[in-house]
Structure 1
Amino acid sequence: MLSYNIILFFVFLLSLPYLLIKAISSKRFRYRFFDRINPDPIKQSEYILVHLASLGEAKAFLNIKNTIESIFKKKLLFSVTSNIGYDYLKSQGLEVFLAPLDFIFLYKKLFNYNLPHLAIFFETEIWPSYLNYLRKYNVRVILINARMSDRSYKFYLRFKVFYEAISKFDIIIAKSQKDMEKFNKFNKNVKLCDNVKYALGKKTFDYDFLLTLKMDNKKIFVFASFHKQELEFLQKAINEVLSLGYRVIIAPRYMEDLPLFEKFLKGIAVEYSMLSKLSDIKDCVLVDRFGILEALYSISSMVFVGGSLSGKLKGHNPIEPAVYNNFVFCGRFMDSFAQEVEYLKNLGCLTQIDNINNLKEHILKIQNLRILSFDKKKEEIENCYKSLLLKLTQA
Structure 2
Amino acid sequence: MHTVYSVVIVLFFLAVSPYFVYQAVRYRKYVGNLRQRLGYLPASFNLDGDESIWIHAVSVGEVLTARALLPQLRERYPRLRIFLSTTTMTGQQVARENLQYADEVFYFPLDLPPIVRRTMRLVKPRIFIMMETEIWPNLLRACRRAGVSTVLINGRISSRSFPRYRLARRFFRRVLDDVDRFCMQSDESARRIIAIGADRQRVSVTGSLKFDSLDTPVSAAGERGRHRVLRYFRVNAARPVVIAASTLKGEEEAVLEAFGRVRANRGDALLIIAPRKPERFDEVERLGRRAGWRLARRTELPVDAEPKVDVVVLDTIGELAHLYEIATVVFVGGSLVDAGGHNILEPAIYGKPIVFGP
Q: Report matched runs for 1:123-162 at 5 Å.
A: 123-159=132-168, 160-162=170-172
Deviation digits for residues 282-319 of structure 1, max 9, x if unmatched?
Answer: 343332332111111122131001222223x3432111
Matched, 1:252 2:275: yes
Q: Does 1:110 align with 2:119?
A: yes
* Distance in 2 between residues matched to 1:18 and 1:257, nearest whole Å: 15
Where 1:213 maps in the other structure, the secondary structure is: coil
| 2:220 paired residue number | none
The correspondence of residues 1-395 of structure 1 with structure 2, limited to 5 A, is 1-28=2-29, 32-40=33-41, 43=46, 45-73=50-78, 74-92=80-98, 94=102, 95-112=104-121, 114-159=123-168, 160-185=170-195, 186-188=198-200, 189-199=202-212, 200-201=214-215, 205-207=226-228, 209=230, 212-245=233-266, 246-276=269-299, 277-278=301-302, 279=305, 281-282=307-308, 283-311=310-338, 313-332=339-358
Alignment check: 8 A CA contact 1:122 1:144 kept: yes
Gaps of 5+ in 2: 218-222
- Whole-Å separation in 2 of the counterparts to 1:15 and 1:209: 40
How many Å apart are 1:18 and its aligned residue? 4.7
Instruction: Give how far 1:261 is off.
Output: 2.6
- 1:93-147 C-alpha deviation (Å, 9 max, x unpaired): 5421111211111011112265212111111101101111111100000001111
CA distance in 2, matches of 1:27, 1:293: 22
Distance in 1 between residues matched to 2:4 and 2:232, nearest whole Å: 58
Q: 2: distance between equivalents of 1:154 and 1:164?
A: 18
Over aligned residue pairs, what C-alpha RMSD do you find?
2.6
| Whole-angstrom CA distance in 1 between matches of 2:20 and 2:279 | 18
Q: Is 1:202–1:323's contact at 8 Å kept on the other side of the alignment?
A: no
The answer to whether the 8 Å contact 1:4/1:161 transfers is: no
Q: Deviations over 1:42-86 (max 9, x none)?
A: 535222100111111111111332122222223310111111111
TM-score normalised by structure 1 residue count: 0.76
5+ unaligned residues in a row in structure 1: which ranges?
333-395
Paired with 1:20 and 1:256, the residues of 2 have a C-alpha distance of 14
Q: Distance in 2 between matches of 1:297 and 1:136?
A: 46
Number of corresponding residues: 331
Instruction: For 1:193 and 1:49, locate their aligned partners in 2 and report how far apart those are by CA, in whole Å.
Output: 20
* Per-residue CA distance 1:155-189 (angstroms, 9 max, x = gap): 33332332222222111111111111222332221
Report the Cα distance in structure 1 between the residues aligned to 2:276 and 2:161, rounded to whole angstroms: 25
**Separation in structure 2 between the aligned mates of residue 29 and residue 304 of structure 1, nearest angstrom:** 30
Q: How far apart, CA to CA, are the structure 2 residues paired with 1:110 and 1:202?
A: 30
Q: 1:271 to 1:113 in 2, by over 3 A?
A: closer
Shift of 1:23: 4.3
When residues 233 and 109 of structure 1 are mapped into structure 2, their CA distance, relative to the original with a 3 A threshold, is same
| Cα distance, 1:225 vs structure 2 | 1.5
Distance 1:281-1:103 versus aligned 2 partners, 3 A rule: same
Paired with 1:15 and 1:255, the residues of 2 have a C-alpha distance of 20
- Residue type of the partner of 1:291? G
How many angstroms apart in 2 are the aligned matches of 1:82 and 1:192? Answer: 28
TM-score, normalised by the number of residues in structure 2: 0.83
Does structure 2 conserve the Cα–Cα contact (< 8 Å) formed by 1:50 and 1:78?
yes
* Alpha-carbon distance in structure 2 between the residues aligned to 1:208 and 1:235: 23
Q: CA deviation at 1:269?
A: 1.8
1:171 and 1:275, CA in 2 relative to 1: closer, same or farther beyond 3 A?
same
Q: Structure 1 residues 46, 209: CA separation in 2 closer, same or farther (over 3 Å shift)?
A: same
Taking the aligned partners of 2:255 and 2:203, their CA distance within structure 1 comes to 43
Indicate if the aligned counterparts of 1:145 and 1:173 stay in contact, CA closer than 8 A: yes
Letter in 1 for 2:52: Y
Q: Distance in 2 between matches of 1:304 and 1:228?
A: 15
Whether the 8 Å CA contact 2:67–2:216 is kept in 1: the answer is no
CA contact (8 A) 2:85 2:106 kept: yes
